[in-house]
Amino acid sequence: MVILMTTQISNDDIVTLFSNMAAMLEIKGDSVFKIRAYQRAANTIDQLSWSLATAAANGEDLRKIPGIGKAISEKVQEYVATGHVAAYDRLAEELPPNVLDLLEVPGMGPKTVKAAVEELGISSVVELEQAALDGRLAQLPRMGKKSAENILRHIHAQRMRSDRTPLGIAAETCAAVSAQLFDACPGLVSLTPAGSLRRWEETIGDLDLIAISDNPSETGPALAALPSVRETLVQGDSKTSVVVDPGIQIDLRIGEPDAMGAMLQYFTGSQQHNIRLRDYANRQGLSLNEYGITVIESGVTEKFADEASFYDRLGLPWIAPELRRGADELDAARAGSLPNLITVEDLRGDLHLHSDWSDGKFPLEEMVAAVAAMGYEYMALTDHSQGLGVANGLTPDRLARQIEILKALQDRYDMTILCGSEVDIRADGAMDFPDDVLAMLDWVIASVHNAMSQDRETMTRRIVRAMENPYVCVIGHASTRLLGHRDPVDFDIETLLQTARDTGTAMEINAAPERLDLKDTHAARARELGVPLVINTDSHHTDGLSNQRYGVAVARRAWCGPEHVLNAYPRAEFLAWLRSHKGERAARFDAMVARRRVESGQ
């Protein structure tokens, strides 16, 4: 039982325990020597390159570690054995339940929190805010009006700021910091993202990076010295934490080449995946942590240079990071039924593109040339319809002229150029172009761009009516959300997806990193119902064409293979689907999926 508990306790857990104990003791006004002992222990443990919990479970003498005496050692043993520390629990009972939240507010150190608790009776951030507003906070010793105003400003800023960063911003930040770090560290061999970024979640907390270096001691200081770093939180031999513009925390850990597989698996997560994996390992007499796999009976720890060998030691195939959600992936891995996930290389075309005829930034000739340079077999130019005036939407006459130009360009390219439009779905569900104009087009995207506050029933009925139009090929960015800026519209997703299936309408996974729409759970349900998915970049600029990786990540998180994505099919198959009667498309797509599965041996 003791060993089982150690598999769920990391060094970070122990660091948090002792850091919180030090803070609570300081709030209580306890002995400065006791406070410093806990702070030193937390700092020492934070720099360890091996698992303290495993060492404790193996009976090693923790007092040999500088900074860990008898009292600290006993508390580690207690935490490892029981998951609790009685001294911590007693401290927590003696203080207001939310007192540690006060320490998260910049400007509120332990001494200030102690004064606020004892003299003003404050026990929460809400009460702290009120005290700042009514002037009581400023009256505390060594506080003053200016300091109280700053604390109030920090409270408001924290409330407005999301704790998570949209995937696109996080990925760009990671790429920029990684490039700078490689320039600054000649000995840096590899730098691998982990955590939620590696799992391609739509929003990211902290950025986790795992480094392998020929000169490990240079890497942490180099990160802290980068010009984009706002603040250095921790700097040591094995871990450095900084905050970089635009306010993202980066945790850099130094790994060893022969143990990289375990460390990367551990810090990639997710938490629930790792818990289930550890339970699975325990049943085999094995214990997992970030340093390797330990045989419980012998205490021998095995190291792994890569994740594939790590999973293989457990009798499992490698599980793609996007699937590591603690849901069904372990069962599928054990049964040998993990999906053959789609990749960027599987895509054959991009079917949502804008030019400077509407709100794009490049002439259509340049957009077409850029798409052709991607090696695609087909594309669709889809400038906005007339109703979206803010986007310089095309009138029927302008659309007709654009179609003529696109048809003339076709002779220059082997790639098939489809004449399309992103047509507004009006508030009542009618299309922004009449049917005789839609009939001129090869590819019609129907999208909501206004009247987004409609109730669920009205919005659902609105999109259903668009699906029932015989010329509509696909619904674009169905929820209309903009991550961190605009909430999704309200609709009945089950009704929409069932209607899409019944009408032969495809659903878009919009790969613009600020959209990622459909989201992964909706895309998974579309897959289950046999609704064709289309991964589009919605590019308004040639640089946007590379964003297809974000849409592919959504599809992978939805367990989609290339057979589930319409624009992963060769040109002949895709065009056969497109040119078939809309009422026949569902059956045709079913046959396409079945044929692809046979060909791939599924």
Q: Contact at 8 Å (CB) between 553 and 322?
A: yes
Residue 494 domain-assigned? Answer: yes
Which residues lie below 8 Å from residue 473, measured CB to CB, with a gap of 6+?
443, 444, 445, 505, 506, 578
Q: Do 152 and 216 share a domain, yes or no? A: no
Could you tell me the CATH number of the domain that includes residue 245? 3.30.460.10
CA distance 36 to 71: 13
Predicted confidence at residue 175, as pLDDT, reads 96
**Do 462 and 523 belong to one domain?**
yes
- 64 and 103 fall within a common domain: yes
Among the ranges given (71-80, 89-98, 227-236, 355-364), the one the predictor scored with the smallest mean pLDDT: 89-98
The residue from 277, 311, 335 where one domain ends is 335
DSSP output for 412-472: G-SSEEEEEEEEEB-TTS-BSS-HHHHTT-SEEEEE--S-TT--HHHHHHHHHHHHTSTT-
Q: Which of 335, 367, 394 is the last residue of a domain?
A: 335
**pLDDT at position 159:** 60
Residues 208 and 109 in one domain: no
Q: Do 242 and 263 fall within a single domain?
A: no
pLDDT of residue 155: 81
pLDDT over 70 (residue 394): yes
Number of domains the chain is built from: 4
pLDDT score recorded for residue 77: 93
DSSP per-residue letters across 535-554: EE--BSSGGGGGGHHHHHHH
Say whether both 554 and 570 belong to one domain: yes
Residue 7 has pLDDT above 50, yes or no: no
Model confidence at 269: pLDDT above 80: yes
Q: With 70 as the cut, is the pLDDT of residue 160 above it?
A: no
pLDDT higher than threshold 60 for residue 271: yes
Q: Strand 207-213 relative to strand 203-204: parallel, antiparallel, unpaired?
A: unpaired
Verify that 238 and 112 share a domain, yes or no.
no
What is the reported pLDDT for 347?
A: 98
What's the pLDDT at 152? 87
pLDDT score of 306 more than 90: yes
CA distance 8 to 288: 9
pLDDT of residue 169: 92
Among the residue ranges 233-242, 259-268, 426-435, 436-445, the one predicted with the least confidence is 233-242
The answer to the question of residue 66 being in a domain is yes
Residue range 410-438, pLDDT digits in tens: 999 999 999 999 999 999 999 999 999 99
Note the pLDDT tens digit of each residue in 518-575: 999 999 999 999 999 999 999 999 999 999 999 999 999 999 999 999 999 999 999 9
**540 and 462 inside one domain:** yes
**Torsions phi, psi of 14, nearest 5?**
-70, -40
Asked whether the beta carbons of 313 and 293 are under 8 A apart, the reply is: yes
Residue after which a domain boundary falls, among 121, 139, 160: 160
Separation of alpha carbons 274 and 314, rounded Å? 13
275-303 per-position pLDDT tens digit: 899 999 999 999 999 999 999 999 999 99
Q: What is the CATH number of the domain that holds 448?
A: 3.20.20.140
Q: Would you say residue 377 lies in a domain?
A: yes
Q: Which amino acid type is present at position 342?
A: I
pLDDT exceeds 60 at position 188: yes
343 found inside a domain: no
- Residue 601 vs residue 526, higher pLDDT: 526
Q: What is the tens place of the pLDDT at every residue in 138-151?
A: 999 889 988 888 88
Q: What's the predicted TM-score (pTM) here? A: 0.76
In a domain, 92, yes or no: yes
Six token digits for residue 587: 């059956």
Token pair for 3 = 């060993």
- The predicted-structure confidence for 21-30, as pLDDT tens digits, reads as follows 998 898 888 8
Checking if the pLDDT of 240 tops 90, the result is: yes
CB-CB neighbours of 389 under 10 Å: 8
Answer yes or no: do 57 and 182 share one domain: no
**Quick check: is 344 in a domain?**
no
Residue 375 domain-assigned?
Answer: yes
Please tell me the predicted confidence (pLDDT) of residue 217.
92
The residue among 545, 511, 510 whose CA lies nearest residue 370 is 545
Tell whether the model's pLDDT for residue 156 goes beyond 80.
no
Average pLDDT taken over every residue of the chain: 92
- Secondary structure (DSSP) of 568-602: GS-HHHHHHHHTS-GGGHHHHHHHHHHHHHHHTT-
What does the pLDDT look like over 348-385, one tens digit per residue? 999 999 999 999 999 999 999 999 999 999 999 999 99
Q: Name the residue range of residue 274's domain.
A: 259-335
Mean pLDDT score, 504-524: 96
Query: How many residues would you count in the chain?
Result: 602
pLDDT digits (tens, 9 = 90+) for 448-462: 999 998 999 999 999
Strand residue runs (E) in 167-279: 188-193, 203-204, 207-213, 229-235, 239-244, 248-254
4-8, 93-97, 203-207, 569-573: which range is least confident on average?
Answer: 4-8
Is 106 inside any structural domain? yes
Is residue 387 a contact partner of residue 422, using CB atoms and an 8 Å limit? no
Same domain, 399 and 414: yes
Distance CA 312, CA 327 (A): 20
**pLDDT at residue 402 tops 50:** yes
- Tell me what the mean pLDDT of segment 218-238 comes to: 92
Instruction: Report the pLDDT value the prediction gives residue 4, as an integer from 0 to 100.
Output: 31
d(CA 372, CA 366): 10
Q: How confident is the model at residue 6 (pLDDT cuts 50, 70, 90)?
A: very low
Three-state DSSP at 505 gives coil
Q: What is the mean pLDDT of residues 143-161?
A: 78
- 523 and 440 within one domain: yes
Predicted confidence (pLDDT) at residue 2 exceeds the cutoff of 60: no
pLDDT for 41-83, tens place per residue?
887 887 665 678 888 888 899 998 877 999 999 999 999 989 8
CATH of the domain at 275: 3.30.210.10
The b-or-e profile of 232-264 (16+ CB within 10 A means b, else e) is eebeeebbbbbbbeeebbbbbbbbeeebbbbbb
Say yes or no: 371 and 404 in one domain. yes
Q: Supply the CATH number for residue 75's domain.
A: 1.10.150.110
